[in-house]
A and B are shown apart, each in its own frame.
Chain A
Amino acid sequence: MSTSSLQRALSAAPAHALAKEAVPGKEYFIFVLGDLTLGVLSGHAREVTRPGLLTPLPRLPAFVLGVVGHRGEVLPVIDLLRFLGQGEMTVTSRKRLFIGSVHAFSAAFLADRVLGLRYLNDSAVLAPPLGGAVPAEHLLGVVRDGPRTLNLIDLPKLMQVARARIVTR
Chain B
Amino acid sequence: MPQSQSTKGAKPVRGKKPPLSRMQSGGDGLKPIIDVLKKVLEDNERALRVDLTKLQGGELELGRLVNMTLERLTLDLSLSEDTRQHTVMVVDQALEALISLVRDGELSKWTSKTDDPVLGPLLEGFGKVIDTLRTFVRQINEAALQLSSSANEVLAASTQHESSSTEQAAAIHETTATMEELKHASAQIAENAGAVARVAEETLGSARSGRGAIGEFIHAMQQIRSDSAAVSDSIAKLSKRVERIGTVVDVIDEIADRSDLLALNAALEGSRAGEAGKGFSIVAAEMRRLAENVLESTKEIKNLITEIREATAAAAGAASASKGATDQGERLGAVAAQAVEGILAGVQETSDAARVINLATQQQRTATEQVVASMAEIEDVTRQTTQASKQSTGAAAELTELAARLADMIKRFKAD
Contact = CB atoms under 8 A, between A and B. Distances in A.
Contacts of B281: 117
Interface string A8-50: 0110111011000000000101000000000000110111111
Interface residues of A, number: 24
Given A6-B290, A94-B257, A117 B268 contact: yes
B224 interface: no
Contacts of B279: 10, 13
Contacts of A17: 275, 278
A29 B261 CA distance: 14
Contact of A50 (B261, B285, B286): B261
B147 interface: no
A10 B283 contact: yes
A42 B271 contact: yes
A12 B290 CA distance: 16
B189 interface: no
Contacts of A13: 278-279, 282-283
A6 B287 CA distance: 7
A47 B287 CA distance: 17
Interface in B271-302: 271-272, 275, 278-279, 281-283, 285-290
A116 B63 CA distance: 233
A27 to B, nearest CB: 6
A114 to B, nearest CB: 6
Interface residues of B, number: 20
B264 interface: yes
Contacts of B271: 27, 42-43, 117
B268 A42 contact: yes
B257 A43 contact: no
A22 to B, nearest CB: 15
B275 A116 contact: no
B168 interface: no
Contacts of B289: 5
Interface string B234-276: 0000000000000000000000010001001101100110010
A8 to B, nearest CB: 8
Contacts of A9: 282-283, 285-286
Nearest to A45: B268
B41 to A, nearest CB: 207
Given A5-B290, A6-B286, A17-B275, A47 B265 contact: yes
Contacts of A94: 257
B286 A5 contact: yes
B125 to A, nearest CB: 174
Interface of A is mostly: mixed
A117 B282 contact: no
Of A5, A13, A46, A49, chain B has the most CB atoms within 10 Å of the CB of A13
Contacts of B264: 48, 114, 116
B285 A116 contact: yes
Contacts of A29: 268
Given A13-B278, A13-B279, A29-B268, A48 B287 contact: no
A117 B280 CA distance: 13
Contacts of A10: 279, 282-283, 286
Nearest to A9: B286
A29 B275 CA distance: 17
Nearest to B279: A13
B267 A117 contact: yes
A116 B288 contact: yes
Contacts of B290: 5-6
Nearest to A29: B268
Given A13-B278, A117-B271, A6 B283 contact: yes
A96 B267 CA distance: 16
A10 B286 CA distance: 9
Interface string A110-122: 0000101100000
A67 B178 CA distance: 117
B268 A46 contact: yes
Nearest to B257: A94
Closest 6 A-B residue pairs measured CB to CB? A9-B286, A13-B282, A48-B264, A42-B271, A13-B279, A117-B267
23 contacts: A5-B286, A5-B290, A6-B283, A6-B286, A6-B290, A9-B285, A9-B286, A10-B282, A13-B279, A16-B275, A17-B278, A27-B271, A42-B271, A42-B272, A43-B271, A45-B268, A48-B261, A49-B261, A50-B257, A50-B261, A116-B264, A117-B271, A117-B281
